[in-house]
């Protein structure tokens, strides 16, 4: 059984105090803390390997290249990709989704008669790039509505799907409510119309095993910093045959085979979409992070986080005027509002007691508008959170509510 108290020893930042109190870190949906193994991997690159990759013939360049490409194999194995050439390193989920939206636009995939389908639960990063593509192509953006419990309306989804639906871009887990969407079934439904499917797995990556071949989507994106790796590194997985058929978005070094002033020949996958010097240390540290979570086990991590979110909801349920957003089986996130209290005030006072939560719209303003609110207070859990954290969170929240009323 996973013991989060012993795991905390791997995360140096969790030893610190905030406003004189032990840190209770419950903002993991925004970014996770980093274990020593990840920081050591980054440090190892800079202390022992620091060199640019792929082009150098000297010892450091060869060693850095080998370690970097081994990290790509680690990511491919983690996702059960058919080949490591399907793994494109990006700056994060936002960068990956923008990459896909732009290369589909460059390929003239859409026209005025076509539609892009997203959901009410999407993060701005899975809304704005598609709006921009619609503006360039003349396509129409359609939105799957959600029920009052924060789950997607599957009947409406079925009604919206048609031969005009060229792209379905869907979050796996809502970063605002923790809703776990049935992405495999929705992907299968879209397949019947030949629709391209992109899955935003930013919140799924730290909680769930991912098998891209079983999922049967076309693209999947996630960010390293949500899964215990550094910021500034992310992954786009795409089907090799599809990536090979699409043009590159950014031009420069690494993504070329031959350049003349008259013509450029583009490189093979994955380098075709990796222009310029990549975040080498970030890639190496990402592989270390995935090794770390796999050694513990994603199934056990998910079980712990689900139990803690349910325990937190139960502990807060006696607070008068509290309302929880999202379904009861929410994944690792507890998002709530308290009648008469502003989420910002609640979060600020919780911080005074050493409890870190997120307040606001969580980059989901359309979703907040759907529920007639400006934002929520969100506690989000990770593998190092414990029952003691839940108790401290509930105790502090109860005290803050009493102070504000």
Q: Which of 134, 146, 363, 364 is catalytic?
A: 363
Tokens 């359309």 correspond to what residue?
A: 366
User: What are 103's two structure tokens?
Assistant: 């290369």
C-alpha to C-alpha distance for 165 and 220, rounded to whole angstroms: 18
> Is-contact 325 337, C-beta < 8 A?
yes
> Is-contact 272 266, C-beta < 8 A?
yes
Q: Which of 382, 402, 169, 395 is nearest to 292 (CA)?
A: 382
363 catalytic residue (yes or no): yes
How buried is residue 213: exposed, middle or buried, by Cβ count under 10 Å (0-12/13-18/19+)? exposed
C-alpha to C-alpha distance for 405 and 164, rounded to whole angstroms: 52
The conformational region for residue 69 under phi > 0 = left, psi -120 to 50 = alpha, else beta, is: alpha
User: What are 126's two structure tokens?
Assistant: 């899975």
Cis ω before 122 (30° cut-off from 0): no
User: What are 380's two structure tokens?
Assistant: 């989000």
Looking at 172-307, which runs of residues are DSSP E strands?
196-200, 219-223, 234-238, 256-259, 264-266
User: What are 336's two structure tokens?
Assistant: 């709530």
Pairing of strands 333-338, 376-380: antiparallel
Angle of helix 128-137 relative to helix 93-106, nearest 10 degrees, comes to 10
Query: Looking at beta carbons, which pairs linking 365-368 to residues 24 or more positions away fall under 8 Å?
Result: 365/124, 366/120, 366/122, 366/127, 366/143, 367/120, 367/121, 367/122, 367/146, 367/174, 367/176, 367/177, 368/176
C-alpha Rg value of the chain to the nearest Å = 22
C-alpha to C-alpha distance for 65 and 251, rounded to whole angstroms: 21
The catalytic residue positions are 363
């Amino acid at each position: 059984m996973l013991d989060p108290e012993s795991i905390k020893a791997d995360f140096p930042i969790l030893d610190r105090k905030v406003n004189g109190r032990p840190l209770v870190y419950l903002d993991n949906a925004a970014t996770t803390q980093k274990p020593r193994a990840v920081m050591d991997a980054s440090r190892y690159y800079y202390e022992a390997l620091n060199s640019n990759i792929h082009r150098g013939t000297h010892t450091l360049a060869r060693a850095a290249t080998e370690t970097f490409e081994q990290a790509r194999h680690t990511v491919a194995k983690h996702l059960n990709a058919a080949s490591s050439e399907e793994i494109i390193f990006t700056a994060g989920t936002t960068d990956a989704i923008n990459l896909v939206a732009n290369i589909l636009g460059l390929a003239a995939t859409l026209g005025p008669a076509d539609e892009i389908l997203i959901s009410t639960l999407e993060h701005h990063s899975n809304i704005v790039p598609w709006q921009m593509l619609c503006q360039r192509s003349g396509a129409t953006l359609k939105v799957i509505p959600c029920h009052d419990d924060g789950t997607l309306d599957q009947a409406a989804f079925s009604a919206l799907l048609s031969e005009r639906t060229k792209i379905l871009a869907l979050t796996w887990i809502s970063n605002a409510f923790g809703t776990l969407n049935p992405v495999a079934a929705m992907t299968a439904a879209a397949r019947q119309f030949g629709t391209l499917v992109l899955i935003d797995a930013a919140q799924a990556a730290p909680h769930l095993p991912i098998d891209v071949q079983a999922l049967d989507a076309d693209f999947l994106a996630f960010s390293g910093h949500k899964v215990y790796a550094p910021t500034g590194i992310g992954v786009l997985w795409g089907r090799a045959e599809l990536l090979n058929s699409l043009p590159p978005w950014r031009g420069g070094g690494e993504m070329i085979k031959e350049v003349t002033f008259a013509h450029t020949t583009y490189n093979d996958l994955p380098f075709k979409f990796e222009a310029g010097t990549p975040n080498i240390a970030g890639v190496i540290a990402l592989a270390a992070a995935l090794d770390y979570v796999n050694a513990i086990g994603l199934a056990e991590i998910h079980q712990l986080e689900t139990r803690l979110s349910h325990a937190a909801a139960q502990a807060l349920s006696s607070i008068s005027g509290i309302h929880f957003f999202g379904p009861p089986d929410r994944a690792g996130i507890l998002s709530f509002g308290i009648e008469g209290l502003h989420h910002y005030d609640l979060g600020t006072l919780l911080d005074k007691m050493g409890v870190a939560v997120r307040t606001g719209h969580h980059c989901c303003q359309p979703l907040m508008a759907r529920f007639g609110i400006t934002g929520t207070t969100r506690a989000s859990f990770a593998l190092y959170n414990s029952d003691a954290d839940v108790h401290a969170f509930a105790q502090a929240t109860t005290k803050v509510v009493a102070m504000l009323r």
